[in-house]
């Protein structure tokens, strides 16, 4: 690989590969042999370092702990039957990463640091990418404010890092959701569209209440009225009413999901009518009552496509019908076939390592 930014590589002496139980992985708990680290200081980026995965040293006054300047991305690498490894739309993640950085007053990461570093890291640990449906290597680029000091101001030093985790299916079992009527994920003018760590921290308590009720996730609604659909937990959300596919439009409250955009394109390729517009909860409830609500499903990098079996809104509950040839199953198959290099990639989404 040719790089415009210097990459220093320190390989592990003993790999953890042979001692890793790939049949019993807990999502995000097992990490590969190497990680990437690059520091921004005095207005410039240091040498990209790829080194053995391990702890990093920070002081208690590290600004990320006090003012929450932390962003991340979620990506995956896939392996086909020829042992070739592919990324899926990585440039979209880099662009979104920098949009998040800008919103949190953090430095943008140059393309060569992000993309070349990522490719070199994945290539070094390519044996951690396994064959088979549902198997992948989850990639977590992130950046934190690493300057010491508790003055309330943007940091002057940041760490950009990438860690990688072998993954199996994210959700197992049926998924039922509660539609939010009290708590909110994001508000107009906020950071809902950014992959900011704090967005997820703020969702944990409401989600724990949903779990106590026997549900797995929350469908978020708009903060002003709680009348319109926004996201589902850590995923974008789609609704099928009749044969029409609906999803909330991208705005400053809703994450511009890479998987979401891919599904919209795949649906259009299939000739399915897709509308990106505001979808009211009343519209969903009315469709449920008159038999027109066919599907609810979430989409995201980790989960890919997750059918929602049922939902609760105030005191109203509804179980989705069992469909033989659901949109969600069609989209998931089409998407993973592209990711695993089993189908033509007419949109140029695959990037070979």
Q: Which residues of 144-173 are buried (b: 16+ CB within 10 A; e: fewer)?
A: bbbbeeeeeeebebbbbbbbbbbbbebbee
Please name which of 115, 114, 101 lies closest in space to residue 155, comparing C-alpha atoms: 101
Q: Quick one: 161 and 192 in the same domain?
A: no
- Residue 348 in domain: no
97: domain CATH number is 3.30.470.10
Q: What are the residue ranges in the chain where pLDDT is below 50?
A: 1-2
Q: Quick one: 144 and 196 in the same domain?
A: no
Q: Quick one: 18 and 153 in the same domain?
A: yes
Three-state secondary structure call for residue 77: strand
The DSSP letter of residue 235 is E
> Of 144, 168, 192, at which residue does a domain stop?
168
Distance of CA 251 to the CA centre of its chain: 17
CA distances (Å), 215 to each of 218, 237, 272, 313, in order?
Answer: 8, 16, 30, 12
| Residue 177 backbone dihedrals phi, psi, to 5 degrees | -130, 155
CA distances (Å), 235 to each of 37, 120, 171, 217, 259, in order?
Answer: 28, 29, 12, 10, 9
Cα separation, 322 vs 309, whole angstroms: 9
Those residues with Cβ within 8 angstroms of residue 181's Cβ, 6 or more apart along the chain or in another chain: 221, 226, 313, 314
Number of domains in the chain: 2
> What's the domain range around 61?
7-168
Query: Tell me: the pLDDT tens digits for 123-176?
Result: 999 999 998 888 999 999 999 999 999 999 999 999 999 999 999 876 667 899
Q: Which residues of 313-323 are buried (b: 16+ CB within 10 A; e: fewer)?
A: beeeebebeee
**Would you say how long the chain is, in residues?**
353
> Of 168, 185, 212, at which residue does a domain stop?
168
Q: Quick one: 189 and 233 in the same domain?
A: yes
- Residue 14 in domain: yes
pTM surpassing 0.95? no
Dihedral in degrees, nearest 10, Cα atoms 206, 209, 215, 220: -20
Cα separation, 145 vs 106, whole angstroms: 8
Cα separation, 277 vs 244, whole angstroms: 12
Q: Quick one: 231 and 116 in the same domain?
A: no
Q: Quick one: 82 and 222 in the same domain?
A: no
Q: Quick one: 162 and 310 in the same domain?
A: no
> Of 139, 168, 197, at which residue does a domain stop?
168
pLDDT score for 234: 79
Q: Quick one: 155 and 290 in the same domain?
A: no
Which phi-psi region, left, alpha or beta, contains residue 87 (left: φ > 0; alpha: ψ -120 to 50)? beta
301: domain CATH number is 3.20.10.10
Those residues with Cβ within 8 angstroms of residue 263's Cβ, 6 or more apart along the chain or in another chain: 238, 299, 305, 331, 335
Q: Quick one: 161 and 70 in the same domain?
A: yes
Cα separation, 336 vs 122, whole angstroms: 19
Q: Quick one: 269 and 137 in the same domain?
A: no
């Amino acid at each position: 690989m040719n790089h415009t930014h210097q990459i220093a590589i320190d390989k592990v002496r003993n790999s953890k590969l042979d001692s890793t139980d790939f049949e019993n992985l807990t999502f995000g708990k097992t990490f590969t042999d190497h990680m990437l680290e690059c520091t921004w200081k005095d207005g410039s980026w240091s040498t990209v370092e790829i080194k053995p995965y391990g702890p990093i040293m920070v002081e208690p006054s590290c600004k990320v702990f006090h003012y929450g300047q932390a962003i991340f991305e979620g990506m995956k690498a896939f392996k086909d039957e020829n042992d070739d490894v592919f990324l899926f739309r990585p440039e979209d993640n880099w662009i979104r990463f920098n949009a998040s950085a800008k919103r949190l007053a953090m430095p943008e990461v140059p393309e060569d640091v992000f993309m070349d570093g990522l490719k070199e890291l994945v290539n070094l640990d390519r044996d951690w990418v396994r064959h088979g449906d549902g198997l992948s290597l989850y990639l977590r680029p992130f950046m934190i404010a690493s300057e010491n000091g508790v003055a309330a101001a943007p940091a002057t030093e940041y760490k950009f890092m990438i860690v990688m985790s072998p993954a199996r299916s994210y959700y197992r079992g049926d998924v039922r959701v509660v539609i939010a009527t009290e708590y909110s994920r994001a508000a107009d003018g906020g950071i809902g569209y950014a992959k900011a760590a704090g967005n997820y921290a703020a969702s944990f308590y409401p989600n724990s209440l949903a779990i106590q009720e026997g549900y797995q996730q929350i469908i978020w609604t708009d903060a002003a009225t709680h009348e319109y659909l926004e996201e589902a937990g850590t995923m974008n959300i789609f609704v099928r009413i009749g044969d029409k596919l609906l999803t909330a439009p991208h705005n400053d409250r809703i994450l511009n999901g890479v998987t979401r955009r891919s599904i919209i394109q795949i649906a259009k390729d299939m000739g399915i009518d897709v509308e990106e517009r505001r979808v009211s909860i009343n519209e969903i409830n009315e469709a449920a009552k008159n038999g027109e609500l066919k599907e609810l499903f979430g989409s995201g990098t980790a989960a890919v496509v997750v059918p929602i079996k049922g939902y609760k809104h105030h005191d109203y509950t509804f179980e989705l019908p069992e469909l033989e040839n659901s949109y969600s199953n069609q989209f998931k198959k089409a998407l993973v076939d592209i990711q695993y290099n089993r189908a033509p990639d007419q949109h140029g989404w695959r990037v070979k390592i």
